[in-house]
Amino acid sequence: NAGVTQTPKFRVLKTGQSMTLLCAQDMNHEYMYWYRQDPGMGLRLIHYSVGEGTTAKGEVPDGYNVSRLKKQNFLLGLESAAPSQTSVYFCASSPPGPANQPQHFGDGTRLSIL
């Protein structure tokens, strides 16, 4: 049982390049999330999805786009990478509920923008 799998684990980009981070979960969870983690800043929510075909903005959505075409996958795109987007990106998933349920996290994608 893999849980939440993030691809790739590491990537170096040049300013202005684009890329897509892939998140896949095998727990049949309805909800999925993308966070970024920077030193001293904790986790900040970028975008999230409460079901296939739906997306919503989080705390820091600018410069990112997402898509949830299949229930098990949640893609995070950077159209024109900037050095400020150097970070560790985490994907998470959770079941639905009347209140926030525990989230299951992947091990992150470490992204450097030069």
41 vs 114, beta carbon nearer other proteins = 41
Q: Which of residues 48-87 bind other proteins (CB under 8 A)?
A: 48, 58-59
8 closest CA partner among 114, 94, 113, 107 = 107
Q: Does 26 bind other proteins (CB under 8 A)?
A: no
Q: Are 32 and 67 in contact (CB under 8 A)?
A: no
Select the residue interacting with other proteins from 24, 25, 33, 85 (CB under 8 A): 33
Q: Which of 11, 17, 22, 45 binds other proteins (CB under 8 A)?
A: 45
By CB under 8 A, the residues from 84 to 103 that bind other proteins are 90, 92, 98-100, 102-103
Interface residue with other proteins, options 24, 75, 87, 106 (CB under 8 A): 106
Q: SS3 of 84, please?
A: helix
Measure the CA angle with vertex 12, ends 6 and 18; round to 5°. 80
User: If binding is defined by CB under 8 A, does position 104 make contact with other proteins?
Assistant: yes
E strand map for the chain: 4-7, 10-13, 19-25, 31-38, 42-49, 56-57, 65-67, 73-78, 87-94, 104-105, 109-113
Q: For binding to other proteins (CB under 8 A), which residues are involved? A: 4, 33, 35, 40-43, 45, 48, 58-59, 90, 92, 98-100, 102-108
